[in-house]
Structure 1
Amino acid sequence: MEGLNSGDTAWLLTSAALVMLMTPGVALFYGGQARSKSVLNMFMMCFSALGVVGVLWILYGYSTVFGTELVGGGLLGNPAEYFGLTALLPNDEATEAYPALAFVSFQGMFAILTVALIAGAAADRMKFGAWVLFSGLWATLVYFPVAHWVFDLEQGWIPVILGAKDFAGGTAVHINAGIAALVLCIVLGKRRGWPREAMRPHNLTMVMLGAGVLWFGWFGFNAGSATSAGWAAGYAFVNSLAATAAAILGWLLVEKIRYGKATSLGAASGIVAGLVAITPACASVSPLGALAIGAIAGALCAWAVGLKYKLGYDDSFDVVGVHFVGGLWGTLAIGFFATDVAPDEVNGLFYGGGFTQLGLQAVAAFAVIAYTAVVTTIIVVALKYTIGLRVEDEVEQTGIDEGEHAETGYEFSGLRGGGGLGSAPKPATEAKATPVAKQEV
């Protein structure tokens, strides 16, 4: 490289900020789906990832992912090489198109987001302290090694040795988080009353807002992975739009056929499914291919979220059905829809490339599945039999917000006695008004 490119630097830093916004977006998306007595806990689980993973990323996470290999064969970087980022502090503008610390910031947001995604599987019932400890252990033992496999384009075994494509993290982020969520919710056990009792989202407006924030931030997630403000970024941006738009329609079509109604929760979930699926493929397929991937992802994930009822695992907010299934489909879809006119320059089955790329994509996906499943199981079981994972039954019944945080998301005291609204006489003009619906808790 010939020196600092201010445009590329600005785009990378802007993309990092967009990806950071995705973590609050996840909190809104999951928080709206929670019951009113659990909404703050869900926000806390997501925001705590900013704290825990952010600190670990500065200390040794970046070094583990992008350091000189500690273990050969593209398996693990050296956690001590860039410990505390001290070695990256000298000005490197003369040799790089963007400062190294800009890339540190961008990739750090990926690590934070991946951990936050897992939280949706553990709603209502996990000790906050256990979650915080799980976050640190999982980031260290699972995310950082897998991210080295995928994102280190000079050493990681998936791009360098295997030759599989994953532009922005279908394997390292979505398959990784989805499998971890599956393990966590199985070991945690089901929520009290699930699936016998209806556990409806308490605020669908919040869910829709969260999905919109995620879509906005995801343009930084995918297009920012080009690390430059050029053709590849524009290509990934358009494909992210195309796939997500098609996924909304695919999800709503399945809902309409199965239930006779198209729901706002379905639209919001379709947005996330499309974004997840196009993440690995956004620089490998044409816009027409992106439309196909998105439409199939919307329909496939809409079907997959029902598996938890058949298989009996309580994945509270469908992390498995959306992130694992969507991420797996998007990773494998490269083997079908990739075209060499795209930035990644490979052909899939439908463009004359045969089954070769599909096989490479499958190896990458199932290697991540196997590693994540085994190591996550070890972490979760160890926590269960040491500090314990689950809150007491009384806390779960009365509300994890009060039990774990001594707070509530909404203040209803003004509606009860003491001269509040609940004790005020009803005006004559409101005598025939429809009573307020009972707040679900």
Structure 2
Amino acid sequence: MFIPIWVILCFFLIVIYMMHQRGKEIDRLNNTIFNKKSELSKQERRLSEKAANLESYVNIKINSLVAERAEIVNERKKWEQEKGLIINLENSSISKFPFIAGVLADYRTARDSSLAWQLEHKKRPALKAAEVIQKVKREKREILQEAYAYKWELSYLKSLLPWLDELSNDIIISSDQSYNQVDSKVDDEAIRWLSPEEYNKLPDVEKYQRALDRYMKRPKKSSWEAGQEYERYIGYLYESDGFHVTYFGASEGLHDLGRDLICKKEGSIHIVQCKRWSTKKQIHEKHINQLFGTTVMYYLSEISETHTADGFYQALNDKKIVPVFASTTGYSETALKFAKSLGVICKTKPMGPYPVIKCNINQSTREHIYHLPFDQQYDHCIISKEQGEFYALTVQEAEDAGFRRAKRWHGPSSHTKK
């Protein structure tokens, strides 16, 4: 078959054209690849520079932190040395209190002196402000010196009298959380819990019952008041069991020597320590030891004819003298071990309700008088069932039994039985 020449020529022309176009496309792609490589190279250089800068920054920060840490360590060492010095000073003997208090006060106010000096000598001196700071520094030094002296004296007293630590959060005097301001013209504690109108207009039974209810249900009680209530409650339980009870803690206060109650029955004497504590706390061995120690002292002063410890352990074994710890909370394991070894009875007794009105019969005048818990002679009044005396739950019960309210005691002329 014969192919015309012009067809062949056209074919070759088409092939040449297509190859030419292919070459142009390849050149374009090569240019694109070259541009991309150039751009990637630039980005790589920028990233390398950033990495180098970041590494340099990190190294600088690390060096700075290392230097700061070294400075902090040095400052801490200085602080530890100063702390040790202060602790040594604070633990110094009582004879050095005034001198050491002055030294520590100077130490605490040294910064104020430095600040005042800077204000006086800066480019534009602030003399007035410096003068104020110096005045404040002097006052601050006096206060600090006095505070340190009191702090050490208290620490010293606590070292001599460990039981003071238990009273550190107590209000020793009954708090004045009364319902009404006291009228000095009215010699009756009941008025603290009544309004003037109530006190003057209500019948005696209703008036005194209302005062008693408010007194017993008052929302805030000091630790001392709560403890006194618990002592009275434990004393009531002992009296109900036939014991003759002396409320030594309530009558003697801080001078009770760790003996809250002295309970006697049929030749046996219970020396009772009471603690109304939160259940979060525990009775520890030091409290057991204190009770045992005061029991020994009671034996020496009140029982032993020779005032020696001879016969004490025999009396302990014979139950003639019994140390008893009554608490609203539990005892540590070590405390129980001490108690077992020393013969101390440990009781856990929560506070409970009980009749609080003491109905007493004067043995000389045969007067029938009842005492409310806030009355002056309440804790000195002893209830004897054999004599027809008793605890009443309400004022009405006491009045119905023929008892009248106690008047305020003004001296030995009173006939209230103690």
Task: Specify which structure has the higher proportion of helix.
Answer: 1
Task: Specify which structure has the higher proportion of strand.
Answer: 2
Q: Which has the larger radius of gyration?
A: 2
- State TM-score, norm by structure 2: 0.23
